[in-house]
Amino acid sequence: MAAPRLTRRGLIAGAGAVGAGIALGGVELDRALGDSSGSGQVPFDGAHQAGIATAAQDRLHFAAFDVTADRRADLRDLLRVWTEAARRMTAGDLVGEVDALPAPPVDTGEALGLPPSRLTVTLGLGPSLFDDRFGLASRRLVALAELPPLPGDELEPNRSGGDLCVQACADDPQVVFHAVRNLARIGRGAVVMRWSQLGFGRTSTTSRSQTTPRNLMGFKDGTNNIKLEDGDALDRHVWADAPGWLRGGTYLVARRIRMLIEVWDRAALSDQEATIGRVKESGALLGEQREFDPVDLSSKRIPADAHVRLAAPSTNGGIKILRRGYSFTDGMDERLGQLDAGLFFISFQRDPAAFVELQRRLGSTDALNEYIVHTGSGLFAVPPGTTPGGYVGQTLLG
């Protein structure tokens, strides 16, 4: 082996021009919480995987993989190697240790010189992983089943499903691309990528320190989302607590929601506001003044089929989910001759039934349905977090 040649930390430390460098200690947490673009580091290890109750970063690269290896030991090795690579990348390090000149680089290099950028890598396990291949059939949790057909579904198989998923979030798109690409690369021979989605801008807040962004309908989205400061709500609605391998984990639902923006753009402002139930500019409920004024569904200003009414926990038996979605565009849809753009919806919940119930209700009566189509879907169990040296999935495979 040759001496180390490529380093990422070294470049960062030496490059004052690049940014603020690596945050340490208490500063890290401040950055993980902060709203503005961050260069800092989100700790990888912890009771829960990072990237869930982490202040939503600005950019996303999400990918689903199918496992082609057929031995349980290979799956375990893959998750070990992926975990270690993710741990290193989130710290701003290269994926691997050293480069030996005659071999391909251990890291593809496009993130050289970039700070950690609050990268988180969150790994999930799909229902299809729990078939006979790896002896996991008996470990499958009842809730870990493919989502049932839902109203609004026009799902494309090549945007749906997968044995494994990777959610990479950071404040720099090059950093999230680098993470997914390198996991795909080092997984070669054990996995093939099934689909992937770039999200260019966050549409959710998951911390009280963040301002509410707008989705591509132009409305503020996620005003009443669960915030990471609400430990009680996280425990009640997000973290699984039944004994077993998922304890401390959660379920991830991904939905590629195509917005029919050309139709939406022709709707009157008053119709748009009635559809959502909020004022477009301020984000306040119809009839209210400010974005965070409490939801009073007795108000006659909010139509019966307004999205905000149907999605409110008080009309859904208290159901709450943690949303962490991103806007996307994938160029033109040749079939329709329109921009293929919308919301890549991600939610975390302790039981996928929460999402299913909500979507059944929204999908059948929500005024928004006229303007959206669900074109992709995935459900994944997200194992709990790791201790240093451990790997994601160890509670299942260890």
Nearer to its own copies, 52 or 89 (CB): 89
Cβ-based nearer residue to its own copies, 342 or 393: 342
Q: Are 235 and 355 in contact (CB under 8 A)?
A: no
Residue 323 CB, nearest distance to its own copies (Å)? 17
Pairing of strands 338-349, 322-323: antiparallel
Residue closer to its own copies by CB (options 15, 27) is: 15
Distances (CA, A) of 346 to 4, 98, 196, 377: 39, 36, 14, 10
* Torsion of the alpha carbons at 257, 208, 297 and 351, rounded to the nearest 10: 50
Of the two residues 59 and 323, which places its CB atom closer to its own copies in the complex? 59
Residue in 199, 325, 204, 312 with CA at minimum distance from that of residue 253: 325
Closest contact distance (angstroms) between CB of 6 and its own copies is 5
C-alpha to C-alpha distance for 89 and 296, rounded to whole angstroms: 45
Q: How far is the CB of 131 from its own copies (least distance, A)?
A: 22
* CB nearer its own copies, residue 98 or residue 141: 98
Question: Of 187 and 385, which CB lies nearer to its own copies in the complex structure?
Answer: 187
The least CB distance from residue 254 to its own copies, in Å, is 13
Please identify which residue in the block is written with the tokens 């992983």.
129
Whose tokens are 């050309």? That residue is 262
Q: How far is the CB of 37 from its own copies (least distance, A)?
A: 6
- Tokens 């499903």 correspond to 161
As measured in angstroms, the least distance from the Cβ of 179 to its own copies is 12
Shortest Å, Cβ 83 to its own copies: 20
CB-nearer residue toward its own copies: 169 or 319: 169
Quote the CA–CA distance of 166 and 180 in Å, as a whole number. 7
The C-alpha atoms of residue 336 and residue 172 are separated, in whole angstroms, by 31
The rounded distance, in Å, linking the Cα atoms of 83 and 81 is: 5
Q: Where are the alpha helices (DSSP H) in the chain?
A: 9-14, 26-33, 72-90, 173-186, 231-237, 261-264, 269-276, 307-311, 352-365, 394-397
Q: Which is nearer to its own copies, 37 or 224 (CB)?
A: 37
The dihedral formed by the CA atoms of 73, 74, 78 and 79, expressed in degrees to the nearest 10: -30
Q: How far is the CB of 317 from its own copies (least distance, A)?
A: 32
